[in-house]
Structure 1
């Protein structure tokens, strides 16, 4: 893990008992345990235990995982510099930038950053966006002074990229980009929009009728890049598509050319994008 930072894709196998890391053209098994969901960002990779809900963080080597929180969380998000969790009852939001090290007795500190009723949270390199339960309003977290700013109205889906956040309205009638101030948003598409996926490479959206995937370019144009997928994961340099169909399904990497994709793996349960390398140092105590 010295000297490089790799933005790549991680996956949970169909049986949900192995976590895998896609590295230099091969899949590396990094956990052999029953797994719920995985969450990724430039800070790293987190996963949950499906029975207890415990939150674990990947230490960078196969089977190196640290127990970051014991118990269930209503939602989890990873940004470029921290991991966030919503309390199980949805009435609190917590963050940590710490890393478990030194001794097994080391306790990780979670800081409460909100006591408001919280719905889904969305993370990316730009930061954290939280949806207020009840109103559906979107709030941006200013980590530098621990303050919150209301930035917009409710939406069906949000996605955070390297420089802003995007919102699909409640009626799925288009797509909006946050302007970076107040509660101002600019409509960037009037086409029906289903799901959106963000990362440092940019924004990918899907159409509800065809399921086709489209990439949004900085000049404001849209490009159809492929057909339907069960989910997508956006890294720093491309996007990956998951097709769960056992007949012809798998994990595919976009070739950054037209609608060309290359299959890089078999069908999986889920995929996420996350960074791996010198992003931090999680030292797992010997037991």
Structure 2
């Protein structure tokens, strides 16, 4: 399927979030997990070479944005990029140098904003950014218009439960569910949200993976982690030192791969990685088996 047809599907993978901010406004009611969330389900591998719902990469040189079209075939859809976010609205890219924000909705690239440090996109296609100065979180409202929704931030991610943030300095975790910001946790190194709205974090020390259970309560579900990825139902962790890839089954962890630099997951649970060397893009096909689907890459984004 080409980019244009993919963009008609209202599907996406949520992005990892590390959020900062002098974030005010506590909602009237205490934060709680999304009602009747789907259970965490282990990822099911896709047949090798089957195109993802949408898998994109930034080349190892950073000079091109590419779309996977199946097997080991990739099509260049854009030039140099410092970061991409994908979802129903299209592919969003930050241009190196200027850091201006561009959108490709299937018919070419259009500038939609000024300098940004990070961009993310939710399941409805809403686009959010952190300003280049890191001092504000903003929501795109069309054309080149943005509305500020939060203060300073070191990173953001979005999902059905809302926008989550790690505040600079304290590293405390905050959630904006549409009614303002409220603290939902203490210091964290990274936070992610899956497509069902479940929120997970790596502790500030990096020694535990935790799941949010409401208000400011968290339950430890894993040990040390280098990074987390959440897309479709499921949670993926890269272990420190070894960089081996593990999947959370809902009751424990299973190793599904060797050393990886980065892992991406689409909304169907298909899993992709960049090898630790950065020399190949690979698709998980079950067990600890992976099939190479591309060459060197710097970054992956899937929805």
Range into which the TM-score falls when normalised by the shorter chain? 0.7 to 0.9
Whole-Å separation in 1 of the counterparts to 2:120 and 2:201: 17
Aligned to 1:20: 66
The C-alpha deviation readout for 1:187-224, integer Å capped at 9, x for no partner, is 111x2221111112421001113211110123x22111
Query: What residue in structure 2 maps to residue 37 of structure 1?
Result: 83
Which residue in 2 is equivalent to 1:177? 211
Alpha-carbon deviation of 1:47? 0.8
Q: Does residue 87 of structure 1 match 2:120? A: no
Q: Number of residues paired by the alignment? A: 253
Q: How has the CA–CA distance of structure 1 residues 212 and 273 changed in structure 2, closer, same or farther, with 3 Å as cutoff?
A: same
2:149 to 96, 108, 113: 113
Query: In the alignment, which of 59, 68, 74 is matched to residue 112 of structure 2?
Result: 68
Q: 1:158 to 1:250 in 2, by over 3 A?
A: same
- Of the three residues 266, 291, 295, the one matched with 1:262 is 291
Query: For residue 228 of structure 1, what is the aligned residue in structure 2?
Result: 259
> Which among 149, 152, 157 is matched to residue 190 of structure 2?
157
Structure 2 SS opposite 1:224? strand
- Which residue number corresponds to residue 103 of structure 1? none
- Say if 2:243 is the partner of 1:251: no
**C-alpha deviation, 1:230, in angstroms:** 0.9
Using CA pairs below 8 Å that are at least 6 residues apart, which structure has the higher relative contact order?
2
Mapped partners of 2:154, 2:277: distance in 1: 31
Query: Please, which runs of 5 or more residues in structure 2 have no aligned partner?
Result: 10-51
CA distance in 1, matches of 2:135, 2:194: 26
Counterpart position of 1:280: none
- 2: CA distance between counterparts of 1:127 and 1:262? 34
Q: Is the CA contact 1:78–1:84 (under 8 Å) kept in the aligned structure 2?
A: yes
- CA offset at residue 20 of structure 1? 0.7
In the TM superposition, what is the alpha-carbon distance from 1:16 to its structure 2 partner? 1.8
The 8 Å contact of residues 69 and 75 in structure 2, kept in 1 or not, is answered as yes
Aligned partner of 1:129 in structure 2 is 164
The answer as to whether partners of 2:166 and 2:188 remain within 8 angstroms in 1 is no
Moved over 4 A (4+): none
State whether residues 79 and 126 of structure 1, in contact with CA within 8 Å, keep that contact through their aligned partners in structure 2.
no
How far, CA to CA, are the matches of 1:30 and 1:171 in structure 2? 39
- Is 1:7–1:42's contact at 8 Å kept on the other side of the alignment? no
Q: C-alpha root-mean-square deviation of aligned residues, in Å?
A: 2.0
CA contact (8 A) 1:201 1:234 kept: no
Output the CA distance in 2 between the equivalents of 1:16 and 1:29. 12
